[in-house]
Amino acid sequence: MKTNIFKSVAILTIATAFTACESSDSSNNYPTAAQFREMETAALNSVKQHFTFDASIGVTATSEHSVNIVIPAGSLIKNGVTVTGMVDLEFIEIFDGGLMAVTGKPTRGITPDGKLAMLISGGEFFLQATQNGEVLEIDPSQNITLVVPPDNDQPNPDMSLWQGVVTDTITGSNDAFVWQPIGQGVNAGAIGIEGYYCSFGNFGWTNVDCFYSDPRPKTTILARVPEGYDNNNSTVYLSYDGQGHSLAKLDTYTADGLFSEHYGQIPIGLECHAIFMTVQNGTYKYAIKPVVITDGGIINFTASETVTGTKDQLIAAINAVQN
Average pLDDT over residues 163-189: 66
How many CB atoms lie under 10 A from the CB of residue 167? 14
User: What pLDDT score does 18 carry?
Assistant: 36
Say if pTM beats, i.e. exceeds, 0.75: yes
Per-residue pLDDT for 192 more than 50?
A: no
**Domain ranges within the chain, ordered by starting residue:** 5-211, 218-320
pLDDT at 322: 87
Read off the pLDDT of residues 105-159 as tens digits, 9 standing for 90 and up: 999 999 888 888 999 999 999 999 999 999 999 999 999 999 999 877 677 888 8
Residue of 245, 246, 256 whose CA lies nearest to 223: 256
Q: Residue 172: is its pLDDT beyond 60?
A: no
CATH 2.50.20 fits 218-320, yes or no: no
Cα 115 to Cα 232: distance, rounded to the nearest angstrom: 22
Please compute the mean of the pLDDT values over residues 248-272 and round it to a whole number: 93
Separation CA 72–CA 91 (nearest Å): 16
What number of CA atoms fall less than 13 Å from residue 62's CA on the CB side?
5
Confidence check: pLDDT of 280 > 80 = yes
According to the model, what pLDDT value does residue 3 have?
56
User: pLDDT tens digit string along 175-186?
Assistant: 578 999 885 433
Give me the chain's average pLDDT, please: 87
**Residues 84-103: pLDDT tens digits?**
999 999 999 999 999 999 99
What three-state secondary structure class fits 100?
helix
